[in-house]
Amino acid sequence: MTQGVEFNRLMLDMRSMQMDAMAQPKAIAAPEQAGASSFADMLGMAVNKVNDTQQASNQLSTAFEMGKSGVDLTDVMISSQKASVSFQALTQVRNKLVQAYQDIMQMPV
User: What pLDDT shows up at residue 87?
Assistant: 94
Output the DSSP codes for 41-69: HHHHHHHHHHHHHHHHHHHHHHHHHTT-T
Residue 67, sorted as left (phi over 0), alpha (psi -120 to 50) or beta, turns out to be left
Q: Alpha helix (H) ranges present in 66-108?
A: 73-105
Asked, for residue 27, whether it belongs to a domain, the answer is: no
Which amino acid is it at 20? Answer: D
Asked, for residue 78, whether it belongs to a domain, the answer is: yes
Q: What is the pTM of this model?
A: 0.62
Asked, for residue 31, whether it belongs to a domain, the answer is: no
Asked, for residue 25, whether it belongs to a domain, the answer is: no
Tens of pLDDT along the chain (109 residues)?
555 566 677 777 777 777 777 776 655 555 555 556 788 898 899 999 999 999 999 999 999 999 998 899 999 999 999 999 999 999 999 999 999 999 999 998 7
Asked, for residue 48, whether it belongs to a domain, the answer is: yes
Contact 76, 53 (CB under 8 A): no
Torsion of CA 64, 69, 70, 76, to 10 degrees: 10
Total domains present in the chain: 1
Asked, for residue 29, whether it belongs to a domain, the answer is: no
Asked, for residue 7, whether it belongs to a domain, the answer is: yes
User: What pLDDT shows up at residue 57?
Assistant: 95
Q: Which domain holds residue 97?
A: 2-16+37-105
Asked, for residue 23, whether it belongs to a domain, the answer is: no
